[in-house]
Every structure is written in structure tokens, then in C-alpha cells.
Amino acid sequence: MTLHTLLATPNLDDVAAIHARLVCAMRYVHLARCEGKYSCRTLAAQIGTPDAVRPFHVFMDEAGRAWPEPIALNRPCQMALSYDEMLLVDLCTAAARNERGVFDELVEDMIGRAGRNSIWTAARRLMSTVVVIVR
């Protein structure tokens, strides 16, 4: 096993469609806000439903508050997920599956109980709106 293998993260093409949508939405919001061109309509199209716009923002705000450092996102043109993007997707997946133990294990070393609780609640709400479009 090489260092490159250990450090590799999946590409957008290699993850589930809902995961790719979430990552692309994260990147879109960051870039659009930096450029002053944010649109709820565009975010809704990115995620797949307007019902997920508010829960998406709440999830990202809760994660951003609890994260020990600013959340690292890759550039929109980069296919590989950053470690933070991958972890946020894993948290959403655990929330969608109602796997609180898995969720906590992923971030208990870096986020305290209160932060995990708020992210969990936000992730559950977000995933209840987007999982419907995948089924």
C-alpha cells in the first residue's frame, strides 16, 4: 500500500448520485457567495428539490459552527472529494440510515456532544428531503 493509496479520496463519478449532488451543492454555495451570485433556485436544481434548500443551509451552518477549522472544499472543477466533503457526505449517509452510533464515531474525536447533536438533527432533516428523490 502506498501513501497515495492511503490519501486518495473518491471522485464525484464514483459516489452515489445523492452524494455527488450534496458535494456539488456545497461547492456551488461557497463559490456563488464569494462571487455574489447565489441563487436559491440554482441550489434547488443542484440538490434536486427546492424542499432541501433550507435544510441544506441549516446542515452546513451547524457543521461550520462545530467544525474545528473552516470546512475545506475542493474547487468545482476538481473531481476528487476533499476529506471534509467526504466526511460530511458520510455524516449525511449515517443520518439517512438513522445510524447515530456510526455518525458519532465519525466525528467524536473532533466535535463535542452538543455540536454532534445539532449536526445530527440538521442532517436528519436534510436527508429526509433529499432521499425521496433517490428512491
What does the DSSP 8-state code read for residue 80? B
- Tens digit of each residue's pLDDT (9 = 90 or more) over 41-97: 999 999 999 999 999 999 999 999 999 999 999 998 899 999 999 999 999 999 999
Band (135; pLDDT cuts 50, 70, 90): very low
- Tens digit of each residue's pLDDT (9 = 90 or more) over 14-37: 999 999 999 999 999 999 999 999
Band (7; pLDDT cuts 50, 70, 90): low
The model's pTM is: 0.90
C-alpha to C-alpha distances, 38 to 1, 77, 87, nearest whole angstrom: 42, 18, 24
Q: What is the DSSP string of the chain?
A: --HHHHH---BGGGS-HHHHHHHHHHHHHHHHHHHT---HHHHHHHHT-GGGHHHHHHHHHHHHHHSSSPPP---TT--BPPHHHHHHHHHHHHHHTT-HHHHHHHHTTTS-HHHHHHHHHHHHHHHHHHGGGT-
